[in-house]
A and B are shown apart, each in its own frame.
Chain A
Amino acid sequence: MHWIVEFVVKHRSSCSFLVTIVLSLWMISGPPEFQARASRFLTLTVFYPFQVTFNNLTHIRNIFSENRHLRQEVARLNTEVSRLLELKSENERLRGLLDLSQDFTYELLPVRVVARDPSIENKSVIINAGYKDGVRMWMPLVGEKGVVGKVIQVMNGLSLVQLIKDPSNRISILSSRSRTVSILETENGRSFFFRCRNHEDVQIGDTIITSGLGGIYPKGLRVGQVDRITDSQNPLFKRVWVELSVDFDRIEDLFVLLLSPQWQSFREELDSLEMQR
């Protein structure tokens, strides 16, 4: 026995080579089932620490590429989210308009704001419909939340709309609860009010609608609601401040009410009389 150990120690390199060669040949010559079993055994025992290290290394490598990929994905999704938010907002706006169009019995023409008055007052906008679309002078425009203004100039494919926030654009209004009729005014295009007698029953929160008396806006279009009531310079009157329903900084999709002014027929009558004369 002693001489065997001595021989192995003396020729340890050759013995190592022989052992590893035999082991390799033994593994090679085994049937596939044996190879699979041996592989599983070696993977779970001898090579387990290496496998863990390798897996961690691969994992780290994957984390870098995954991180890069995720960054690209985040950028793409951010763009997508922005686009979808825009679509959602447009959808909500159009839904509001659709509801509005179902409420009205008038013929409505959907239009889009294509330009705004560049001045600070922002008193007018241009819409993408004109004479060829059936738009005529003085036709009123409404948004999803209420009355917006009236057409004051018509071109072939575009029209100029005077907003109700223009101080020169006064509309006849009505308090829907107390039926008080007055004229909506503004001095600066930001604060709106109407004057009414002191005894009139107007309260904060009352809804203000168009009265239909001006001849341009039909009756019942929402204008806003009473915000506060203050004294007027004239002691017989009080000043009722109205918060408009429409946010004029955010108008995009509108409807033109295809209506002729109520005084149109009178005007035509007068014109024909003048012609006869």
Chain B
Amino acid sequence: MLKKFLKWAGLFFLAFILQTTLAPAISIYGIKPDLLMLVLFILAIKTGMMPAIYVGFFLGLAQDLYSPSILGQNALSKTIAGFFAGLFNEKLVRIDPIFQAVLLLLMFLLNDLVFLVVQMVKTGGSMQVITMQVLTATLPRSFYSLLLGMAPFLWENYVQAAVKR
């Protein structure tokens, strides 16, 4: 149990370091991959819903504290995203890489939608702003993260499988 906890803690720590150091360096037109969301997605499908909910909640809360946003905004969006991804725990559902990619994309969209809706409610934004935000920020970030995130899945499902065969 402790070993598992340390493994995930180490992975998040690594993702955190990479997010603060590597992500700005590999950004394209200001679009950075969200490595923490990727790790949250992996955690969700590997370990299930409950760890994903708590990790999502605390990750979001940390983001709320260290970024000028409404307290609880990221916590709520990441909790929901973690819950959503946790529904597809690989112990319960067998999913192929394409479906995983779709899930990851949906998880990003869900996270950003919740975030933007909270923002709209609290600060009085419009649907037009949310749409623009989704089109100009969420989708490029999701695809970029997806590109990076799918690499381990493709490696595991295709390359390693091919080597085994």
Q: Which B residues have a C-beta under 8 Å from some C-beta of A?
A: 16-17, 20-21, 48-50, 53-54, 56-57, 60-62, 64-66, 70-73, 75-76, 79-80, 83, 86, 118, 122
Contact = CB atoms under 8 A, between A and B. Distances in A.
Contacts of A35: 70-72
B35 to A, nearest CB: 15
A38 B70 CA distance: 11
A57 interface: yes
A23 B56 CA distance: 13
Given A23-B57, A23-B72, A17 B65 contact: no
A24 B60 CA distance: 10
7 contacts: A13-B86, A16-B50, A20-B75, A21-B76, A24-B76, A25-B72, A27-B64
Interface stretch (A39-47, A178-186, A235-243): A39-47
Contacts of A21: 76, 79-80
A17 B118 contact: no
Interface of A: 12-13, 16-17, 20-21, 23-28, 30, 35, 38-39, 42-43, 46-47, 50, 54, 57-58, 61
A27 to B, nearest CB: 3
Nearest to A53: B13
A30 B71 contact: yes
A146 B64 CA distance: 78
A24 B20 contact: no
A98 to B, nearest CB: 57
A39 B64 CA distance: 8
Contacts of B53: 13, 16-17, 20
Main SS at interface, chain B: helix
A16 B86 CA distance: 12
A201 B20 CA distance: 86
B54 A16 contact: yes
B79 A24 contact: yes
Given A27-B72, A35-B70, A47 B62 contact: yes
Contact of A28 (B66, B70, B80): B70
Given A28-B122, A47-B65, A50-B62, A20 B54 contact: yes
Contact of B79 (A17, A26, A30, A47): A17
Contacts of A47: 61-62, 65
B73 A20 contact: no
B16 to A, nearest CB: 8
A38 B80 CA distance: 21
